[in-house]
Amino acid sequence: MQVGFINRPIIRLLMLGLFLVTSAGAGDASSEIQVWPDVVQIGAFFSGLEVKVTGKIPSGAQAVVEITGPAAAERLMRKGRRGGLWMNVGEVEVQGAPSLYLAASTTPPLLKAPPKAATWGYPALKQQVRFAGSVEQGEREMFLNQFFQLKESEEVYAIFPGDLKVKGGSGDSQVVTGTFPLPTTVKPGPYRVCLTMVQGGQVSATHGCDLKVVMVGFPSMLAGLAYEHGAAYGILAVIIAIVTGFAMGYLFKGGGGH
Amino acid sequence: MSLSLYLPLAGNSINILLLFGLGGAVGFLSGLFGVGGGFLMTPLLIMAGIPSTVAAASDSNQIVAASTSGTYAHWRLGNVDFKMGIILIIGGVLGGTLGVYLIKALRALGNADFVIKVTYVVMLGVIGGYMFMESLQSIRRKPVESRKTSTEPAKVSLYNRLVQALPYQMKFEKSGVSLSPLMPLVLGVFVGILAAIMGVGGGFIMVPVMVYMLRMPMHVVVGTSLFQILFTCINVTIMQSITNFTVDLVLALILLLGSTIGAQFGVRLSKRLKGDQLKILLASIVLLVMVQMLLSLVLAPHLMLAPKGGH
């Protein structure tokens, strides 16, 4: 007991020291890149949100900022023609593709025609996306382009070449800023914001920070009920519908003169 | 203030007025024709950005409200044949269960989507086309026929003789027909199978079946169809909530507020229109949906990849 009593303040001091060291480190990293807000809340009236990213890069350097969602396997249907009619003809599983991909650059060529070894943009994504199911070897490139088009139509993939604004900072550094539209379909989860600095066609440094998307309030409560108590949720939905139906019928009876 | 509302199970936000308007328009048709409106609402919701699985399941929930409101209004008018409705519900549940197994087997064979699409086009084309032509002829020849009926004895068709030969004949007072309960039971099974294959409540198939095969008067058909749809959609809502988590209550609530109001206006208009006028209007809508679906089958799609879940 006595040992524990003696040790408690020491442990607290050690933890405080550790916290000061780590937060000082984090302060260094966040000074290179910051995202605002860093926690996006999906509430009852959420209709998408613009997040602002600010970063510091050396004078004369170029930059690319990416916001990436966690990768998860996704099942899609491929269309084909059977007997002269277009329909779903097979299932395609897409692996390794981020759930969200937004990228902006200081100059348009950095995103439109990135260098071969670039770790950003659609060419880099093409390296990490894999297809399984009814896709032939020769169809990969076509389906990759189709996949990006599909994701752009869903507003979860977008590139903004040349949209990062550069302002002269103090001394040998400059400040880049960019705004990124998070779509209404953004899913709750951890997202990563990455700033890549490019000098002389080579990556000179990368910095990252986290962006969190969370569901809050009524949507969170309702989703919890639906996923954890499906039967109760279904019965509740039916009861609400029947009561509303009767109430409307009754209201109209009063004014309708049937 | 934003008019958008976040739908937690659909994972998207949508304009409240748009949803309310969609619900109102489809509810109006529901009250007017006695159809659930699933064959119209689900594609419209998908177009508005709702995932197809959530659109279909949440639509079932809003149909519960619209058909409750519509059934109540028709019951007050004396237009619901509960005896016929209950037999059709039993048949529909049996057929729906058979249909679910059939579609599962077809999915295992890999050609379910083909069957679904072709069934849609054929059923919509046949029903819409037949109703349209029959109603048009009926409107044109009415004055001539009324003179004929007084002088010529009515011919008994082979179909009528077959119907009358079935066992356990009983009188359905509200509909004013006498037939074997086996007839609505078998037809209920048939509609249930088709509804399960097509993923809809089946009102737009049930209405013509009641009119042409059960020979029920149009105004009783509308009320009885809504009564039957109510039970089908209660079952679908609970099953989808338990198995697929695709019923979005927020989406359904806004739709049902619109649809229950719309349904009341539909019921009022249905009283003012004649049976043939109602049939020709429903036939036109069914044919329009069929043409839209046929075009989606014939024209090359913009993208060769599509999210899983839609037809």
Full 3-state SS string of chain B? CCCEEEECCCCEEEEHHHHHHHHHHHHHHHHHHCCCCHHHHHHHHHHCCCCHHHHHHHHHHHHHHHHHHHHHHHHHCCCCCHHHHHHHHHHHHHHHHHHHHHHHHHHHHCCHHHHHHHHHHHHHHHHHHHHHHHHHHHHHHHHHHHHHHHHCCCCCCHHHHHHHHCCCCEEECCCCEEECCHHHHHHHHHHHHHHHHHCCCCHHHHHHHHHHHCCCCHHHHHHHHHHHHHHHHHHHHHHHHHHCCCCCHHHHHHHHHHHHHHHHHHHHHHHHCCHHHHHHHHHHHHHHHHHHHHHHHHCCCCCCEEEECEC
CB contact under 8 A, A241 and B237: yes
Token pair 């990849």 in the structure block, residue: B305
Helices (H) and strands (E) in chain A, counts: 6, 13
What's chain A's average pLDDT? 84
Contact B226, B29 (CB under 8 A): no
In this structure, what DSSP letter does residue A187 have? P
- Same domain membership, residue A202 and residue A129: yes
pLDDT, position B110: 58
Nearest residue in chain B measured CA to CA from A78: B305
Could you tell me if A49 lies within 8 Å of chain B, comparing CB atoms? no
Q: Does residue A19 lie within any of the structural domains?
A: no
Tokens 């409540």 found at: B201
Q: In terms of domains, do A170 and A154 share one? A: yes
**Confidence grade of residue A178 (pLDDT, cut at 50, 70, 90):** very high
The average confidence (pLDDT) of chain B is 81
**Nearest CA of chain A to the CA of B218: how many Å?**
19
In-domain check, residue A20:
no
d(C-alpha B260, C-alpha B5), whole Å? 20
Which of A143, A231, A241 is the closest to B252 by Cβ? A241
Interchain proximity B5–A249, CB inside 8 Å: no
More confident residue, B196 or A84: A84
Distance CA B217, CA A209 (A): 69
Q: A152 and A114 share a domain?
A: yes
Q: Is residue A149 domain-shared with residue A248, that is, in the same domain?
A: no
Average pLDDT on A79-107 reads: 89
A85 with A108, same domain: the answer is yes
- A residues 120-149 closer than 8 Å to B (CB): 142-143, 146-147, 149
Is B26 in contact with B266 (CB distance < 8 Å)? no
User: Is B171:B74 a contact under the CB 8 Å cutoff?
Assistant: no
At residue A256, the 3 state secondary structure works out as: helix
pTM of the predicted structure, to 2 decimals? 0.75
In a domain, A27, yes or no: no
Tell me what pLDDT residue B192 has: 80
What pLDDT does B197 receive?
Answer: 72
CA torsion through residues A152, A156, A159, A163, sign: positive
Please indicate, yes or no, if residue A66 is contained in any of the structural domains: yes
Instruction: Report the pLDDT value the prediction gives residue A171, as an integer from 0 to 100.
Output: 73
How high is the pLDDT of residue A28?
A: 39
A189 and A251 together in one domain: no
Q: Assign residue B119 a region (left: φ > 0; alpha: ψ between -120 and 50; beta: otherwise).
A: alpha
Say if A22 falls within a structural domain: no
Q: Which of B4, B9, B66 comes nearest A226 by C-beta?
A: B9
Query: In chain B, which among 231-260 make CB contacts under 8 A with chain A?
Result: 234, 237-243, 245, 247, 249-250, 252-253, 256-257, 260
To probe the interface with B, which of A238, A240, A242, A250 has the most B CB atoms within 10 Å?
Answer: A238
Least confident of A101-105, A220-224, B68-72: B68-72
Q: How many domains does chain A have?
A: 2
With an 8 Å Cβ cutoff, is A20 touching chain B?
no
The Cα-based distances of A163 to A63, A106, A121, A180 in angstroms read 11, 6, 14, 10
Q: Please tell me which of the candidates A91, A142, A237 has its beta carbon nearest to residue B308.
A: A91
My answer on whether A128 and A235 are in the same domain is no
> Where is pLDDT greater, at B75 or A1?
B75
Digitized pLDDT (tens) for each residue of chain B, 311 residues in all: 568 899 999 899 999 999 999 988 888 887 787 676 777 787 788 878 888 778 878 888 888 887 888 888 888 888 899 999 999 999 988 887 787 777 777 766 656 666 777 777 887 888 788 888 888 888 787 655 544 444 555 556 777 778 777 888 888 888 888 888 998 899 888 888 877 776 666 777 788 888 888 888 888 998 898 898 888 888 888 888 888 788 899 999 898 888 888 878 888 888 788 778 877 888 888 888 888 878 888 898 888 888 775 44
The shortest C-alpha distance from B263 to chain A (Å) reads: 9
Instruction: Please report the ipTM that was assigned to this predicted complex.
Output: 0.78
Element (H, E) at A38: none
Which residues in chain A touch residue B300, judged by CB atoms under 8 angstroms apart?
A: 86
Q: How far apart (Å, rounded) are the C-alpha atoms in residues A129 and A221?
A: 34
| B19 at A interface, C-beta within 8 A | no
Query: Nearest residue of A to residue B306 by CA position?
Result: A77
Segments in chain A forming alpha helices (H): 2-32, 108-112, 121-128, 140-153, 217-228, 230-256
- Among A184, A199, A215, the domain-final residue is A215
A137, A234: one domain: no
Using CB atoms, pick whichever of A42, A226, A230 lies closest to residue B6.
Answer: A42
**Residue in B12, B72, B253 nearest the CB of A245:** B72
Q: Does B306 touch chain A (CB under 8 A)?
A: yes
Q: Looking at the domain assignment, is residue A93 inside a domain? A: yes
Q: Does A230 contact chain B (CB < 8 Å)?
A: yes
A226 and A142 in a single domain? The answer is: no
- Does residue A141 or residue B31 have the better pLDDT? A141
A249/B72 touch (CB, cutoff 8 Å), yes or no: yes
User: What are the tens digits of pLDDT across the range B77-109?
Assistant: 888 999 999 999 999 888 877 877 777 777 666
Examine the domain organization and report whether A171 and A237 are in the same domain.
no
Is A227's Cβ below 8 Å from some Cβ in B? yes
Domain-located, residue A23? no
Q: Does A158 touch chain B (CB under 8 A)?
A: no
Least confident of A43-47, A82-86, A104-108, A160-164: A82-86
Give the C-alpha separation, A63 to A160, whole Å: 12
B117 and A87 within 8 Å at the Cβ level: the answer is yes
Q: Do A43 and B249 touch (CB under 8 A)?
A: no
Quickly list H helices, A68-178.
Answer: 108-112, 121-128, 140-153
Let me know whether A236 and A201 are in one domain: no
Taking only the tens place, the pLDDT of each residue in B114-152 is 677 777 788 788 878 888 888 888 878 765 554 444 455
How many Cβ atoms are within 10 Å of A164's Cβ, its own excluded? 25
What is the pLDDT at residue A255? Answer: 36
**CATH number of the domain that residue A146 is part of:** 2.60.40.2550
What three-state secondary structure class fits A221?
helix
Q: Which positions in chain A touch B268 (Cβ < 8 Å)?
A: 256
- B263 vs A contacts (CB less than 8 Å): 248
Domain that holds residue A94: 32-215
Are A233 and A225 within 8 A, CB to CB? yes
Q: Between chains, do B301 and A86 touch, taking CB under 8 Å as contact?
A: yes
Distance between first and last Cα of chain B: 36
Task: Assess whether A225 and A204 both reside in one domain.
Answer: no
Do residue B245 and residue A230 have CB atoms under 8 angstroms apart?
yes
A17 in a structural domain: no
